[in-house]
Chain A
Amino acid sequence: MEKITNNQTGAIGEEAVVQFLSSKNTEIVERNWRIREGEIDIIALGSGGVFSFVEVKTRRSSAFGHPLEAINSEKSYRMQRLALAWLATHGCLGCDYQIDAAAVLLSPDGSCSIDYRENIL
């Protein structure tokens, strides 16, 4: 099997989360929105009119701890700032929003398991 790069791993994980969200009746607004401060993996609009800003962490094994443990407080504050930046640039400042995190664990056989946590702050 060809070796998968880390970038590809991330892309596979994000794709899996997009499909997971779509199946839950959530509209995907934007993917990989990037500014100088950083990047938001997925921006979605839930059925209740709440924007979700999703950080996806993909791992091929849990040998290095749980994927979500990689999100420390600094990272979560950056997510918050990025979310506000996105809302401001899209004229939605004041809308309800939440920060979500998704942990994707890829198995060698290609299947993946998603651990989706809402409103992590």
Chain B
Amino acid sequence: MSLAQTKSVALLGLDGHVVNVEVDIADGLPGYSLLGLPDAALSESRDRVRSAIVNCGEMWPNRKVTVSLSPAWLPKSGSSFDLAICITLLSAHETIPVERIEKIVFLGELSLDGHIRPVRGVLPSLIAAFKAGIRTAVVPTANAQEAQLLQSMTIIPMEHLRDVLLWLRTGERESIEKIELKWESTDSRLDFADVAGQSSARLAAEIAAIGGHHILLIGPPGAGKTMIAERIPTIMPALSIEQAIEVTAVHSIAGTLLQRSPVSLLAPIISPHHTTTRVAMVGGGSHVIKPGACSLAHNGVLFIDEAPECASGVLDSLRQPLESGTVTIARSIGNLTFPAQFLLVLAANPCPCGKFTGRGRNCTCTAQQVRRYLGKLSGPMMDRIDLRVQVEPVGRIDMARNELGESSQVIRARVIRAREIAADRFSSMGWSLNSQIPARALRTVFQPEKAAMNFLHDELDKEAITARGLHKIIRTAWSFADLHENKTPTMADVLAAHTMRGKIQA
């Protein structure tokens, strides 16, 4: 029989489509045609597959070879089909039993000597294969850790084409040691104890971690804005397994799993440079659509340093994902949705020279320059930021003090406790964080105590806050209440929330 087929997966964003790889070897002039909308990297598979086959001592069929990747309408890209094409071709050439490979997914790029190289998007591919009812997958050894996350599938990591052929023909495998799935949940490199002083910024970071409130840190250079922002993931609770798998899937597609372990339960932190483009921020690309920084920060922190320096439109492109928690990218090849539920942390200098703190004595900027600088953070954007904190320069008392501040571990324990209280309260409601309470619920079930409400209504009358601002303050107040283990937000909680939202003085 000169016809064989097996399975592989084509990815469109996070959605995998199981692809039938069919090979037909017919009489005729020696030739090779690849059908099914391959891109350049996939078209080159012919030469990789051929060299790998010859260099493993197998026969290349000198006949007319037709490779079809179906569904044919789906554009396919990348090198991950190499292994599937190679195995199917050898099977069609009657060197591997056809029925042996029918229900296996093969993923991997071949090197010319037959080594199986790692590919992007292994986890989402396997999730799609699993949903399609496939239970066995051959993956590159380098991707084994990531693939192992799918515990309900038989994952067979392979290093070399020869090993795969041996296994398919005889059932023997060289190393059957199972990689144990061990989640990593601590990172000892960063700790909040490193931050000297800054009590209000520390508190703001803690509240942000509790309720998922977005935060803006304003302060002169060298005050510790970046230090604080980088340490926010260390006080966030460990991700749940489902969340961790989501994060790993996005990073797998973006090909950034070298920087982040696929089995990490730590909230990711992504800090794009302020020269970043809109496409890099939200995701895109004309040919292969890649997730942007805000999707890579899914379930974690998106930290933008020097936020006012960002090109106009870059920050504002985050408004929609901030609202919906997802990014939908429309391109000619289709509409893709990536998850983008992140905690936004912005850092900014108070003015172009950076010295406008206190009475601003050393500042050399004109009043107009100062106003214009922070004005670059647009109104609608600022409206979504609940916590706006001035980070003052560290004084000599803080620096001279010997004992360190609270460690991340201590703060994290409090954050976890507060989040548990919130999760209990919202258990039947379909959301879990204070920042996600819908406006209707705020007006009915989740009102702060009477005196606090009166205070807020007075502020509203004075036009010191807007209706949306009122809701935002109540949400933050709930986070303060959870931190202090109050049943409902007290006057003190509301006042604290109101102060934290503060105005940006410029």
Contact = CB atoms under 8 A, between A and B. Distances in A.
Interface of A: 66, 68-69, 71, 76, 101, 117-120
B112 to A, nearest CB: 17
B30 A66 contact: yes
Interface of B: 27-30, 62
A110 B67 CA distance: 38
Contacts of A120: 27-29
Nearest to A75: B29
A57 B27 CA distance: 16
A16 to B, nearest CB: 19
A118 B63 CA distance: 12
Contacts of A101: 29
B475 to A, nearest CB: 68
A101 B29 CA distance: 8
Contacts of A76: 29
Given A69-B30, A119-B27, A120-B29, 16 more contacts: A66-B30, A66-B62, A68-B29, A68-B62, A69-B29, A69-B62, A71-B29, A76-B29, A101-B29, A117-B27, A117-B28, A117-B29, A118-B27, A119-B28, A120-B27, A120-B28
A87 B30 CA distance: 27
A68 B27 contact: no
B481 to A, nearest CB: 76
A120 B30 CA distance: 9
B47 to A, nearest CB: 14
A76 B28 CA distance: 11
Kindly name the residue among A68, A76, A118, A119 whose own CB sees the greatest number of chain B CB atoms within 10 A.
Answer: A68
Contacts of A71: 29
A76 B62 CA distance: 17
Kindly name the residue among B27, B28, B29, B62 whose own CB sees the greatest number of chain A CB atoms within 10 A.
Answer: B29
Contacts of B27: 117-120
Nearest to A117: B27
Contacts of B62: 66, 68-69
A118 B29 CA distance: 9
Contacts of B30: 66, 68-69
A56 to B, nearest CB: 14
9 contacts: A66-B30, A68-B29, A68-B30, A69-B30, A71-B29, A101-B29, A117-B28, A117-B29, A120-B28
A101 B30 CA distance: 11
Nearest to A62: B62
Nearest to A115: B62
A9 to B, nearest CB: 20
A95 to B, nearest CB: 22
Contacts of B28: 117, 119-120
Contacts of A117: 27-29
B54 to A, nearest CB: 11
Task: Name the 7 nearest CB pairs between A and B, nearest first.
Answer: A66-B62, A120-B29, A69-B30, A120-B28, A68-B30, A68-B29, A71-B29
Contacts of A69: 29-30, 62
Nearest to A72: B29
Contacts of A118: 27
A68 B28 CA distance: 9
A119 B29 CA distance: 9
Contacts of A68: 29-30, 62
Contacts of A66: 30, 62
A117 B30 CA distance: 10
A18 B30 CA distance: 23
B136 to A, nearest CB: 35
B53 to A, nearest CB: 14
B31 to A, nearest CB: 8
Nearest to A66: B62
A68 B62 CA distance: 8
Nearest to B28: A120
A115 to B, nearest CB: 8
A119 B30 CA distance: 13
A73 B27 CA distance: 16
B51 to A, nearest CB: 13
